[in-house]
Protein backbone atom coordinates (compact mmCIF):
# COMPACT_ATOMS: atom_id res chain seq x y z
CA UNK A 1 0.00 0.00 0.00
CA UNK A 2 1.41 3.39 -0.95
CA UNK A 3 1.51 6.05 1.73
CA UNK A 4 0.85 9.03 -0.56
CA UNK A 5 -2.65 10.41 -0.17
CA UNK A 6 -2.56 13.51 -2.32
CA UNK A 7 -3.02 13.09 -6.10
CA UNK A 8 0.12 15.13 -6.87
CA UNK A 9 2.27 13.11 -4.48
CA UNK A 10 0.81 9.89 -5.80
CA UNK A 11 1.45 10.96 -9.36
CA UNK A 12 5.11 11.67 -8.60
CA UNK A 13 5.45 8.38 -6.78
CA UNK A 14 3.89 6.33 -9.58
CA UNK A 15 5.89 8.14 -12.25
CA UNK A 16 9.11 7.05 -10.56
CA UNK A 17 8.07 3.40 -10.80
CA UNK A 18 7.37 1.18 -13.81
CA UNK A 19 4.71 2.53 -16.22
CA UNK A 20 1.13 1.87 -15.14
CA UNK A 21 -1.17 0.35 -17.78
CA UNK A 22 -4.46 0.16 -15.89
CA UNK A 23 -6.11 2.26 -13.19
CA UNK A 24 -9.13 0.84 -11.43
CA UNK A 25 -11.12 3.11 -9.09
CA UNK A 26 -13.43 1.65 -6.42
CA UNK A 27 -15.14 4.57 -4.63
CA UNK A 28 -17.43 2.48 -2.41
CA UNK A 29 -14.74 0.69 -0.48
CA UNK A 30 -16.16 -0.74 2.72
CA UNK A 31 -13.08 -2.25 4.30
CA UNK A 32 -9.46 -3.02 3.65
CA UNK A 33 -10.34 -6.73 3.49
CA UNK A 34 -12.83 -6.05 0.68
CA UNK A 35 -10.13 -4.21 -1.28
CA UNK A 36 -7.77 -7.14 -0.81
CA UNK A 37 -10.44 -9.53 -2.11
CA UNK A 38 -10.97 -7.34 -5.19
CA UNK A 39 -7.20 -7.06 -5.73
CA UNK A 40 -6.82 -10.85 -5.62
CA UNK A 41 -9.59 -11.26 -8.17
CA UNK A 42 -8.13 -8.59 -10.43
CA UNK A 43 -4.72 -10.25 -10.25
CA UNK A 44 -6.28 -13.56 -11.29
CA UNK A 45 -8.06 -11.88 -14.21
CA UNK A 46 -5.02 -9.95 -15.41
CA UNK A 47 -2.80 -13.03 -15.29
CA UNK A 48 -4.63 -14.19 -18.45
CA UNK A 49 -3.90 -10.99 -20.32
CA UNK A 50 -0.98 -10.74 -22.71
CA UNK A 51 1.85 -8.78 -21.08
CA UNK A 52 0.19 -8.75 -17.64
CA UNK A 53 -0.55 -5.00 -17.39
CA UNK A 54 0.71 -3.21 -14.32
CA UNK A 55 -2.34 -2.07 -12.36
CA UNK A 56 -3.12 0.47 -9.65
CA UNK A 57 -6.34 0.06 -7.66
CA UNK A 58 -7.59 3.32 -6.15
CA UNK A 59 -9.88 3.07 -3.18
CA UNK A 60 -11.50 5.76 -1.04
CA UNK A 61 -9.08 7.46 1.32
CA UNK A 62 -11.86 7.86 3.88
CA UNK A 63 -11.70 4.12 4.50
CA UNK A 64 -10.70 3.57 8.14
CA UNK A 65 -10.52 0.43 10.22
CA UNK A 66 -12.18 0.22 13.64
CA UNK A 67 -10.17 1.81 16.48
CA UNK A 68 -7.62 -0.61 17.79
CA UNK A 69 -8.15 -2.97 14.90
CA UNK A 70 -5.03 -3.91 13.02
CA UNK A 71 -5.14 -3.33 9.29
CA UNK A 72 -4.91 -6.58 7.32
CA UNK A 73 -1.70 -7.06 5.34
CA UNK A 74 -1.63 -5.62 1.86
CA UNK A 75 -1.66 -7.92 -1.14
CA UNK A 76 0.42 -5.50 -3.25
CA UNK A 77 3.23 -6.71 -5.48
CA UNK A 78 5.22 -5.35 -8.42
CA UNK A 79 2.34 -5.65 -10.89
CA UNK A 80 -0.55 -4.54 -8.67
CA UNK A 81 -0.76 -1.79 -6.11
CA UNK A 82 -3.66 -0.66 -3.94
CA UNK A 83 -3.61 3.06 -3.18
CA UNK A 84 -5.90 5.28 -1.06
CA UNK A 85 -7.17 8.19 -3.14
CA UNK A 86 -9.65 11.06 -2.65
CA UNK A 87 -12.54 9.47 -4.53
CA UNK A 88 -15.97 11.12 -4.45
CA UNK A 89 -18.87 8.72 -3.89
CA UNK A 90 -21.01 8.13 -6.98
CA UNK A 91 -24.27 9.62 -5.82
CA UNK A 92 -25.57 12.55 -7.83
CA UNK A 93 -22.97 12.68 -10.56
CA UNK A 94 -20.87 9.93 -11.99
CA UNK A 95 -18.59 12.43 -13.68
CA UNK A 96 -17.56 14.08 -10.41
CA UNK A 97 -16.39 10.71 -9.15
CA UNK A 98 -14.63 9.94 -12.40
CA UNK A 99 -12.91 13.30 -12.93
CA UNK A 100 -9.86 12.86 -10.58
CA UNK A 101 -9.40 9.34 -11.89
CA UNK A 102 -9.40 10.65 -15.46
CA UNK A 103 -6.84 13.31 -14.53
CA UNK A 104 -4.51 10.76 -12.95
CA UNK A 105 -4.99 8.29 -15.80
CA UNK A 106 -4.14 10.89 -18.38
CA UNK A 107 -1.09 12.10 -16.45
CA UNK A 108 0.21 8.53 -16.26
CA UNK A 109 -0.75 7.78 -19.90
CA UNK A 110 -2.42 4.54 -18.90
CA UNK A 111 -3.80 2.11 -21.44
CA UNK A 112 -7.18 1.90 -19.72
CA UNK A 113 -9.03 3.13 -16.69
CA UNK A 114 -12.04 1.63 -15.00
CA UNK A 115 -14.67 2.81 -12.52
CA UNK A 116 -16.34 0.14 -10.36
CA UNK A 117 -19.13 1.62 -8.25
CA UNK A 118 -20.45 -1.62 -6.74
CA UNK A 119 -19.00 -3.31 -3.68
CA UNK A 120 -15.36 -4.44 -4.16
CA UNK A 121 -16.25 -8.10 -3.46
CA UNK A 122 -18.65 -8.15 -6.42
CA UNK A 123 -15.76 -7.57 -8.84
CA UNK A 124 -14.88 -11.20 -9.56
CA UNK A 125 -12.14 -12.32 -11.93
CA UNK A 126 -14.70 -13.27 -14.59
CA UNK A 127 -16.43 -9.87 -14.40
CA UNK A 128 -13.11 -8.02 -14.47
CA UNK A 129 -12.13 -10.01 -17.55
CA UNK A 130 -15.40 -9.18 -19.36
CA UNK A 131 -15.10 -5.51 -18.52
CA UNK A 132 -11.39 -4.99 -19.21
CA UNK A 133 -10.50 -7.33 -22.06
CA UNK A 134 -12.37 -5.39 -24.80
CA UNK A 135 -10.42 -2.24 -23.88
CA UNK A 136 -7.01 -3.80 -23.18
CA UNK A 137 -6.93 -6.31 -26.02
CA UNK A 138 -9.69 -5.57 -28.52
CA UNK A 139 -9.23 -1.81 -29.02
CA UNK A 140 -12.66 -0.81 -27.78
CA UNK A 141 -12.91 2.67 -26.31
CA UNK A 142 -15.77 2.15 -23.90
CA UNK A 143 -17.21 -0.88 -22.19
CA UNK A 144 -20.44 -0.62 -20.21
CA UNK A 145 -22.07 -3.43 -18.25
CA UNK A 146 -25.14 -5.24 -19.54
CA UNK A 147 -26.93 -6.00 -16.32
CA UNK A 148 -29.43 -8.80 -15.98
CA UNK A 149 -32.91 -7.39 -16.34
CA UNK A 150 -35.89 -8.64 -14.40
CA UNK A 151 -39.12 -7.85 -16.19
CA UNK A 152 -40.42 -5.38 -13.61
CA UNK A 153 -37.12 -3.71 -12.76
CA UNK A 154 -35.33 -0.67 -14.23
CA UNK A 155 -38.47 0.20 -16.17
CA UNK A 156 -37.53 3.86 -16.71
CA UNK A 157 -34.51 2.54 -18.55
CA UNK A 158 -36.58 0.03 -20.54
CA UNK A 159 -39.42 2.45 -21.33
CA UNK A 160 -37.54 5.65 -22.10
CA UNK A 161 -33.77 5.74 -21.71
CA UNK A 162 -32.74 2.69 -23.74
CA UNK A 163 -35.25 3.08 -26.62
CA UNK A 164 -34.64 6.82 -26.90
CA UNK A 165 -30.82 6.67 -26.88
CA UNK A 166 -30.87 3.69 -29.22
CA UNK A 167 -33.13 5.44 -31.74
CA UNK A 168 -31.29 8.74 -31.56
CA UNK A 169 -27.64 7.70 -31.32
CA UNK A 170 -27.83 4.43 -33.26
CA UNK A 171 -26.10 2.32 -30.57
CA UNK A 172 -27.95 -0.51 -28.86
CA UNK A 173 -26.49 0.00 -25.39
CA UNK A 174 -28.89 -1.65 -22.98
CA UNK A 175 -27.92 0.45 -19.92
CA UNK A 176 -26.66 3.83 -21.13
CA UNK A 177 -26.75 5.16 -17.55
CA UNK A 178 -24.51 2.42 -16.15
CA UNK A 179 -22.10 3.75 -13.54
CA UNK A 180 -19.49 1.03 -13.97
CA UNK A 181 -17.26 1.70 -16.95
CA UNK A 182 -14.00 0.78 -18.62
CA UNK A 183 -12.41 3.48 -20.79
CA UNK A 184 -9.59 3.44 -23.30
CA UNK A 185 -6.68 5.89 -23.25
CA UNK A 186 -8.26 7.67 -26.22
CA UNK A 187 -11.59 8.26 -24.48
CA UNK A 188 -9.85 9.10 -21.20
CA UNK A 189 -7.82 11.81 -22.94
CA UNK A 190 -10.95 13.33 -24.52
CA UNK A 191 -12.92 13.29 -21.28
CA UNK A 192 -10.04 14.74 -19.27
CA UNK A 193 -9.82 17.80 -21.47
CA UNK A 194 -10.99 20.79 -19.45
CA UNK A 195 -12.85 23.78 -20.80
CA UNK A 196 -10.20 25.84 -22.64
CA UNK A 197 -11.56 29.14 -21.34
CA UNK A 198 -12.36 28.36 -17.71
CA UNK A 199 -10.08 25.41 -17.04
CA UNK A 200 -13.04 23.68 -15.37
CA UNK A 201 -14.03 20.08 -16.22
CA UNK A 202 -16.41 19.75 -19.15
CA UNK A 203 -19.18 17.83 -17.42
CA UNK A 204 -20.13 14.79 -19.44
CA UNK A 205 -22.52 12.77 -17.32
CA UNK A 206 -23.62 10.78 -20.36
CA UNK A 207 -20.36 9.17 -21.39
CA UNK A 208 -22.10 6.56 -23.55
CA UNK A 209 -23.81 9.13 -25.76
CA UNK A 210 -20.62 11.21 -25.88
CA UNK A 211 -18.67 8.15 -27.11
CA UNK A 212 -21.41 7.41 -29.66
CA UNK A 213 -21.30 11.00 -30.95
CA UNK A 214 -17.52 10.82 -31.21
CA UNK A 215 -17.76 7.66 -33.31
CA UNK A 216 -15.78 5.60 -30.75
CA UNK A 217 -15.97 1.83 -30.45
CA UNK A 218 -18.38 0.75 -27.72
CA UNK A 219 -18.93 -2.73 -26.27
CA UNK A 220 -21.06 -4.22 -23.52
CA UNK A 221 -19.95 -6.64 -20.83
CA UNK A 222 -22.46 -9.20 -19.59
CA UNK A 223 -21.52 -9.37 -15.91
CA UNK A 224 -24.33 -11.60 -14.63
CA UNK A 225 -25.17 -8.85 -12.19
CA UNK A 226 -28.42 -7.13 -11.29
CA UNK A 227 -28.84 -3.42 -10.76
CA UNK A 228 -29.15 -2.40 -7.12
CA UNK A 229 -32.77 -1.65 -6.13
CA UNK A 230 -33.69 1.94 -6.91
CA UNK A 231 -35.37 4.29 -4.47
CA UNK A 232 -38.99 4.34 -5.65
CA UNK A 233 -40.52 6.34 -2.80
CA UNK A 234 -41.25 9.31 -5.08
CA UNK A 235 -41.60 8.09 -8.65
CA UNK A 236 -42.13 11.50 -10.22
CA UNK A 237 -38.93 12.79 -8.61
CA UNK A 238 -36.97 9.77 -9.81
CA UNK A 239 -38.42 10.13 -13.30
CA UNK A 240 -37.53 13.83 -13.46
CA UNK A 241 -34.06 13.08 -12.06
CA UNK A 242 -33.36 10.61 -14.88
CA UNK A 243 -35.04 12.43 -17.75
CA UNK A 244 -33.71 15.91 -17.04
CA UNK A 245 -30.04 15.10 -17.85
CA UNK A 246 -31.11 12.76 -20.65
CA UNK A 247 -33.15 15.44 -22.44
CA UNK A 248 -30.48 18.03 -21.82
CA UNK A 249 -28.01 15.66 -23.46
CA UNK A 250 -30.36 15.15 -26.43
CA UNK A 251 -30.50 18.93 -26.83
CA UNK A 252 -26.72 19.27 -26.72
CA UNK A 253 -26.12 16.49 -29.24
CA UNK A 254 -28.85 17.52 -31.69
CA UNK A 255 -26.42 18.03 -34.54
CA UNK A 256 -25.13 14.49 -34.23
CA UNK A 257 -28.32 12.46 -33.78
CA UNK A 258 -30.12 14.23 -36.61
CA UNK A 259 -27.58 12.64 -38.96
CA UNK A 260 -27.76 9.15 -37.44
CA UNK A 261 -29.90 6.61 -39.23
CA UNK A 262 -30.54 2.99 -38.16
CA UNK A 263 -29.22 1.50 -34.93
CA UNK A 264 -26.52 -1.15 -34.81
CA UNK A 265 -25.92 -3.98 -32.36
CA UNK A 266 -23.19 -3.54 -29.77
CA UNK A 267 -20.70 -6.42 -29.26
CA UNK A 268 -21.31 -8.20 -25.95
CA UNK A 269 -18.51 -9.87 -23.96
CA UNK A 270 -19.11 -12.39 -21.19
CA UNK A 271 -22.15 -14.46 -20.31
CA UNK A 272 -25.14 -13.91 -18.11
CA UNK A 273 -27.81 -16.21 -16.75
CA UNK A 274 -31.47 -15.98 -17.68
CA UNK A 275 -33.35 -13.97 -15.03
CA UNK A 276 -35.73 -15.95 -12.86
CA UNK A 277 -39.49 -15.65 -13.28
CA UNK A 278 -40.86 -12.79 -11.26
CA UNK A 279 -44.44 -12.46 -10.03
CA UNK A 280 -46.37 -9.27 -10.77
CA UNK A 281 -46.01 -7.27 -7.57
CA UNK A 282 -47.19 -3.89 -8.84
CA UNK A 283 -50.74 -2.59 -8.48
CA UNK A 284 -51.76 -2.15 -12.11
CA UNK A 285 -55.25 -0.89 -11.29
CA UNK A 286 -53.83 1.95 -9.21
CA UNK A 287 -51.50 2.90 -12.07
CA UNK A 288 -54.39 3.03 -14.51
CA UNK A 289 -56.39 5.13 -12.05
CA UNK A 290 -53.49 7.57 -11.71
CA UNK A 291 -53.33 7.87 -15.49
CA UNK A 292 -57.09 8.47 -15.71
CA UNK A 293 -56.87 11.05 -12.93
CA UNK A 294 -53.97 12.68 -14.76
CA UNK A 295 -55.97 12.80 -17.97
CA UNK A 296 -58.85 14.53 -16.21
CA UNK A 297 -56.68 17.03 -14.36
CA UNK A 298 -53.48 17.58 -16.34
CA UNK A 299 -55.04 18.05 -19.74
CA UNK A 300 -54.26 21.79 -19.67
CA UNK A 301 -50.59 21.00 -19.12
CA UNK A 302 -50.46 18.20 -21.68
CA UNK A 303 -52.17 20.43 -24.26
CA UNK A 304 -49.06 22.61 -24.25
CA UNK A 305 -46.88 19.59 -25.02
CA UNK A 306 -48.84 17.05 -27.05
CA UNK A 307 -50.50 17.55 -30.44
CA UNK A 308 -54.27 17.01 -30.75
CA UNK A 309 -53.94 13.58 -32.40
CA UNK A 310 -51.96 12.24 -29.43
CA UNK A 311 -54.42 13.76 -26.96
CA UNK A 312 -57.26 12.06 -28.79
CA UNK A 313 -55.53 8.69 -28.52
CA UNK A 314 -54.89 9.28 -24.83
CA UNK A 315 -58.56 10.10 -24.37
CA UNK A 316 -59.49 6.74 -25.91
CA UNK A 317 -56.91 5.03 -23.70
CA UNK A 318 -58.29 6.68 -20.55
CA UNK A 319 -61.75 5.33 -21.39
CA UNK A 320 -60.56 1.71 -21.67
CA UNK A 321 -61.39 -0.75 -18.85
CA UNK A 322 -58.44 -2.28 -16.98
CA UNK A 323 -58.73 -5.70 -18.66
CA UNK A 324 -58.44 -4.15 -22.14
CA UNK A 325 -55.87 -1.52 -21.23
CA UNK A 326 -53.18 -1.43 -23.90
CA UNK A 327 -50.92 1.44 -24.91
CA UNK A 328 -49.63 1.35 -28.46
CA UNK A 329 -45.84 1.57 -28.78
CA UNK A 330 -46.08 4.30 -31.42
CA UNK A 331 -48.22 6.42 -29.10
CA UNK A 332 -45.72 6.04 -26.27
CA UNK A 333 -42.77 6.79 -28.55
CA UNK A 334 -44.41 9.96 -29.89
CA UNK A 335 -45.31 11.02 -26.35
CA UNK A 336 -41.68 10.69 -25.22
CA UNK A 337 -40.51 12.59 -28.28
CA UNK A 338 -43.08 15.35 -27.68
CA UNK A 339 -41.94 15.78 -24.09
CA UNK A 340 -38.31 15.90 -25.25
CA UNK A 341 -39.25 18.65 -27.68
CA UNK A 342 -41.20 20.54 -25.00
CA UNK A 343 -38.11 20.32 -22.80
CA UNK A 344 -36.07 21.92 -25.55
CA UNK A 345 -38.67 24.66 -26.19
CA UNK A 346 -38.90 25.44 -22.44
CA UNK A 347 -42.68 25.46 -22.60
CA UNK A 348 -42.73 25.36 -18.81
CA UNK A 349 -40.31 24.66 -16.00
CA UNK A 350 -38.48 21.38 -16.66
CA UNK A 351 -39.49 20.02 -13.26
CA UNK A 352 -43.21 20.55 -13.97
CA UNK A 353 -42.86 19.17 -17.46
CA UNK A 354 -41.13 15.95 -16.46
CA UNK A 355 -43.23 15.35 -13.35
CA UNK A 356 -46.41 15.83 -15.39
CA UNK A 357 -45.23 12.90 -17.49
CA UNK A 358 -45.57 10.49 -14.54
CA UNK A 359 -49.22 9.46 -15.20
CA UNK A 360 -48.34 8.76 -18.83
CA UNK A 361 -45.36 6.68 -17.78
CA UNK A 362 -47.59 4.77 -15.36
CA UNK A 363 -50.00 4.10 -18.21
CA UNK A 364 -47.15 2.55 -20.19
CA UNK A 365 -46.00 0.51 -17.17
CA UNK A 366 -49.55 -0.74 -16.54
CA UNK A 367 -50.00 -1.78 -20.17
CA UNK A 368 -46.56 -3.43 -20.19
CA UNK A 369 -47.20 -5.27 -16.91
CA UNK A 370 -50.51 -6.63 -18.18
CA UNK A 371 -48.83 -7.77 -21.38
CA UNK A 372 -45.75 -9.49 -19.98
CA UNK A 373 -47.13 -11.18 -16.89
CA UNK A 374 -47.01 -14.91 -17.41
CA UNK A 375 -44.80 -14.85 -20.51
CA UNK A 376 -41.24 -16.16 -20.53
CA UNK A 377 -38.05 -14.05 -20.43
CA UNK A 378 -37.49 -14.36 -24.17
CA UNK A 379 -40.93 -12.93 -24.93
CA UNK A 380 -40.25 -10.04 -22.57
CA UNK A 381 -37.09 -9.29 -24.54
CA UNK A 382 -39.08 -9.43 -27.78
CA UNK A 383 -41.69 -7.10 -26.30
CA UNK A 384 -39.05 -4.51 -25.43
CA UNK A 385 -37.40 -4.98 -28.80
CA UNK A 386 -40.73 -4.08 -30.47
CA UNK A 387 -40.86 -0.92 -28.39
CA UNK A 388 -37.35 0.05 -29.52
CA UNK A 389 -38.28 -0.56 -33.15
CA UNK A 390 -41.27 1.77 -32.66
CA UNK A 391 -39.00 4.48 -31.30
CA UNK A 392 -36.80 4.07 -34.37
CA UNK A 393 -39.75 4.14 -36.76
CA UNK A 394 -41.09 7.32 -35.10
CA UNK A 395 -37.76 9.11 -35.29
CA UNK A 396 -38.73 10.97 -38.52
CA UNK A 397 -41.73 12.39 -36.60
CA UNK A 398 -39.36 13.65 -33.90
CA UNK A 399 -36.98 15.07 -36.51
CA UNK A 400 -39.82 16.99 -38.15
CA UNK A 401 -41.05 18.38 -34.87
CA UNK A 402 -37.52 19.25 -33.78
CA UNK A 403 -36.83 21.18 -36.99
CA UNK A 404 -40.26 22.78 -37.39
CA UNK A 405 -41.93 22.75 -33.97
CA UNK A 406 -44.60 25.32 -34.90
CA UNK A 407 -45.96 23.22 -37.74
CA UNK A 408 -47.47 20.69 -35.32
CA UNK A 409 -48.45 23.02 -32.54
CA UNK A 410 -52.13 23.00 -31.65
Interface with another protein, residue 316, by CB under 8 A? no
| 162 vs 139: CA distance, rounded Å | 25
Contact set for another protein, span 85-124 (CB under 8 A): none
- What is the total residue count of the chain? 410
Q: Which residue number, 100 or 307, has a Cβ lying nearer to another protein?
A: 307
Q: Which residue number, 214 or 297, has a Cβ lying nearer to another protein?
A: 297
| 27 vs 54: CA distance, rounded Å | 20
Contact set for another protein, span 375-404 (CB under 8 A): none
* Residues in CB range of 303: below 8 A, 6 or more apart: 311, 410
- How far apart are CB 289 and another protein at their closest, in Å? 7
Please state, as a whole number, how many other Cβ atoms lie within 10 Å of the Cβ of residue 265.
8
Contact set for another protein, span 32-91 (CB under 8 A): none
- How far apart are CB 342 and another protein at their closest, in Å? 10
Number of residues that bind another protein (CB under 8 A): 24
| 348 vs 354: CA distance, rounded Å | 10
- Beta strand residue intervals within 28-180, DSSP E: 55-60, 80-85, 112-115, 142-148
- How far apart are CB 174 and another protein at their closest, in Å? 28
Q: Which residue number, 2 or 350, has a Cβ lying nearer to another protein?
A: 350
Residue 70, judged by CB atoms within 10 A of its CB (0-12, 13-18, 19+), counts as: exposed
Q: How far is CA 357 from CA 129, 132, 284, in A?
A: 40, 38, 17
Q: Which residue number, 283 or 381, has a Cβ lying nearer to another protein?
A: 283
- How far apart are CB 309 and another protein at their closest, in Å? 20
Indicate if the alpha-carbon torsion angle 114, 119, 125, 127 is positive or negative. negative
Q: Which residue number, 222 or 306, has a Cβ lying nearer to another protein?
A: 306
Element (H, E) at 122: none
- Longest CA–CA separation in the chain, Å: 72
- How far apart are CB 114 and another protein at their closest, in Å? 38
Contact set for another protein, span 344-373 (CB under 8 A): 345-350, 352, 355-356, 358-359
Beta strand 268-269 pairing with 218-226? parallel
Q: Which residue number, 200 or 349, has a Cβ lying nearer to another protein?
A: 349
Q: Which residue number, 76 or 289, has a Cβ lying nearer to another protein?
A: 289
- How far apart are CB 347 and another protein at their closest, in Å? 6
- How far apart are CB 323 and another protein at their closest, in Å? 20
Q: Which residue number, 85 or 402, has a Cβ lying nearer to another protein?
A: 402
| 140 vs 86: CA distance, rounded Å | 28
- How far apart are CB 304 and another protein at their closest, in Å? 6
Please state, as a whole number, how many other Cβ atoms lie within 10 Å of the Cβ of residue 102.
23
Q: Of 180-188, 322-330, 342-350, 393-401, which part binds another protein (CB under 8 A)?
A: 342-350
Rg (CA), the chain: 23
Q: Which residue number, 7 or 241, has a Cβ lying nearer to another protein?
A: 241
| 238 vs 158: CA distance, rounded Å | 14
| 348 vs 248: CA distance, rounded Å | 15
Site string for another protein, 274-313 (x = CB under 8 A): ------------x--xx--xx-xxx--x--x---------
Q: What angle do CA 350, 263, 160 make, to 5 degrees?
A: 30
Contact set for another protein, span 232-271 (CB under 8 A): 235-236
- How far apart are CB 49 and another protein at their closest, in Å? 50
> Where along the sequence are the contacts to another protein (CB under 8 A)?
235-236, 286, 289-290, 293-294, 296-298, 301, 304, 345-350, 352, 355-356, 358-359, 405
Amino acid sequence: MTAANQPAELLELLKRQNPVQLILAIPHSESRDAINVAATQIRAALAKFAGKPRTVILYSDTLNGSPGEESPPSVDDVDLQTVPFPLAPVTASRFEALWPVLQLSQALSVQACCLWTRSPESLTAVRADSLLRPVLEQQFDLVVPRYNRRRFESLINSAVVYPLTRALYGQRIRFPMAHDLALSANLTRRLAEPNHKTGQPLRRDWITTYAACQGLRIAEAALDLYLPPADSSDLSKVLAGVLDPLMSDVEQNALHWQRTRDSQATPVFGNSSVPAEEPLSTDVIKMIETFQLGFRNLLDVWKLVLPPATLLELKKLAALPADKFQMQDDLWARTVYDFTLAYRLRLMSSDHLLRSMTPLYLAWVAAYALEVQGVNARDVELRLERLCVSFESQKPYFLSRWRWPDRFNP
